[in-house]
């Protein structure tokens, strides 16, 4: 496969992936990343505003049936305060993430979106990550100011999907991604690596599905067995799966925004740096207030639990300069939209 050729076919890329060492793969992906995105790593402020969830995904620590989870909600005024603080710290993109919490009706979410837009003088991009909704609801959110939507498909293996996301439909989730794109959102999806029952073929298909969906953002992280869930005793798989996935995604989707995920930083102290070296160009400082952050436990041993936003941003800046990157406060809009 020729160096940095942006027009490689998916087949060329997969053949290279299959034979390349992780080091070779990462080098190729990082150099392609730099040729498009430079050395800048864009920060997106993450606010985990509710951990109530009506879903019962077997892998997730905030699943409905986990009676040990301590539940919380952050109300609208508090969300606006958190966004203002992040905005004053320089952030220009925010992600509102939550469990599928019926308390937050479409109207409530719209009011929050409108206020965030106003408060940030329409200079910040807002991403929602709150699960499958109807097309009508996605349209309402869009009209109220949502710019982007994240909805991971978690695995491209339909049978595996149906066995771990009970009462959820793979087809509906993929249809939701199409709805989002058609409504003019910048669309994000992604998956976990190392799920029980997953194979190397699944991992290749996961990445190919992201390319087929022409995603603007792709998040991938290692599955971490979570206490008090049916998958608690599953084996921990190597971070290398997620590192190789990041590099493969960069080669398949050169323009996409790809985060170095918290899950990677959780199972390896330098997991996020490794992901950046594999072609990731986004970091997501967690702005969730310290008092409740510890309860948004999708998986155990989450990092940065006792740090506030400014400390986190400073720490990320230092970590990035140590690997010859620099943090950026850009809105990080999708490159396909003419930038």
Binding site for ligand 5AD (CB under 6 A): 59-60, 152, 154, 192, 221, 223-224, 226, 263, 298-299
CB of 291 to ligand 5AD, least distance (A): 21
- The CA–CA distances, whole Å, from 182 to 93, 219, 241, 264, 323 equal 22, 20, 32, 31, 38
For every residue of 10-47, DSSP letters joined together read HHHHHHHHHHS-HHHHHHHHHHHHHHHHTTEEEE-EEE
CB of 28 to ligand 5AD, least distance (A): 26
For every residue of 266-335, DSSP letters joined together read HHSTTHHHHHHHTT--EE--B-S-HHHHTT--SSTT-S-TT--HHHHHHHHHHHHHHTT-EEE------G
Q: Name which of 120 and 226 has its Cβ closer to ligand 5AD.
A: 226
CB of 126 to ligand 5AD, least distance (A): 17
Q: Name which of 13 and 160 has its Cβ closer to ligand 5AD.
A: 160
Q: Name which of 185 and 223 has its Cβ closer to ligand 5AD.
A: 223
Q: Name which of 225 and 279 has its Cβ closer to ligand 5AD.
A: 225
Contact partners, residue 160, CB within 8 Å, separation at least 6: 195, 197, 198, 202
CB of 314 to ligand 5AD, least distance (A): 25
Partners of 98 in the β-ladder: 50
- Whether 100 and 128 have beta carbons less than 8 Å apart is answered as no
Q: Name which of 160 and 298 has its Cβ closer to ligand 5AD.
A: 298
CB of 152 to ligand 5AD, least distance (A): 4
* 30: nearest Cα among 293, 277, 337, 306: 277
Instruction: Give residue for tokens 């506030």.
Output: 308
CB of 45 to ligand 5AD, least distance (A): 15
Q: Name which of 57 and 316 has its Cβ closer to ligand 5AD.
A: 57
Q: Name which of 92 and 165 has its Cβ closer to ligand 5AD.
A: 165
**Using CB atoms within 10 A of its CB, is residue 322 exposed (0-12), middle (13-18) or buried (19+)?**
exposed
CB of 12 to ligand 5AD, least distance (A): 28
Q: Name which of 176 and 298 has its Cβ closer to ligand 5AD.
A: 298
Q: Name which of 152 and 270 has its Cβ closer to ligand 5AD.
A: 152
CB of 284 to ligand 5AD, least distance (A): 11
CB of 37 to ligand 5AD, least distance (A): 23
Q: What are phi and psi of 24, to 5 degrees?
A: -60, -45
Q: How many CB atoms lie within 10 A of CB 231?
A: 16
| C-alpha–C-alpha distance, residues 250 and 30, integer Å | 8
Q: How many CB atoms lie within 10 A of CB 318?
A: 10
Helices (H) and strands (E) in the chain, counts: 13, 9
How is residue 165 annotated by DSSP? S
């Amino acid at each position: 496969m020729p160096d940095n050729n942006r027009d490689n076919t998916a087949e060329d890329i997969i053949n290279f992936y299959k034979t390349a060492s992780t080091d070779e793969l990462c080098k190729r992906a990082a150099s392609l990343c730099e040729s498009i995105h430079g050395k800048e790593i864009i920060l997106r402020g993450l606010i985990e505003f509710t951990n109530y969830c009506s879903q019962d995904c077997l892998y997730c620590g905030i699943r409905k049936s986990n009676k040990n989870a301590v539940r919380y909600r952050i109300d609208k005024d508090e969300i606006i305060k958190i966004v203002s603080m992040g905005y004053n710290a320089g952030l220009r993109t925010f992600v509102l993430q939550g469990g599928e919490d019926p308390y937050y009706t479409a109207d409530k979410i719209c009011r929050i979106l409108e206020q965030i837009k106003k408060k940030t003088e329409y200079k910040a991009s807002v991403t929602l990550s709150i699960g499958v909704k109807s097309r009508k609801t996605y349209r309402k959110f869009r009209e109220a100011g949502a710019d982007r939507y994240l909805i991971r498909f978690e695995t491209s293996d339909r049978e595996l999907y149906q066995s771990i996301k009970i009462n959820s439909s793979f087809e509906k989730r993929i249809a939701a991604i199409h709805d989002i794109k058609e409504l003019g959102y910048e669309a994000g999806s992604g998956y976990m690596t190392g799920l029980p029952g997953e194979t190397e073929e699944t991992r290749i298909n996961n990445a190919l599905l992201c390319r087929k969906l022409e995603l603007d953002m792709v998040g991938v992280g290692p599955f971490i067995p979570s206490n008090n869930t049916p998958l608690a005793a599953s084996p921990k798989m190597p971070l290398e799966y997620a590192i190789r996935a990041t590099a493969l995604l960069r080669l398949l989707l050169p323009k996409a925004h790809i985060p170095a995920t918290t899950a990677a930083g959780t199972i390896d102290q330098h997991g996020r740096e490794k992901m950046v070296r594999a072609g990731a160009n986004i970091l997501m400082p967690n702005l969730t207030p310290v008092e409740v952050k510890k309860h948004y436990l999708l998986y155990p041993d989450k990092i940065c639990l006792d740090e506030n936003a400014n400390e986190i941003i400073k720490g990320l800046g230092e970590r990035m300069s140590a690997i010859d990157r620099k943090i950026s406060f850009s809105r990080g809009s999708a490159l396909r939209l003419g930038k």
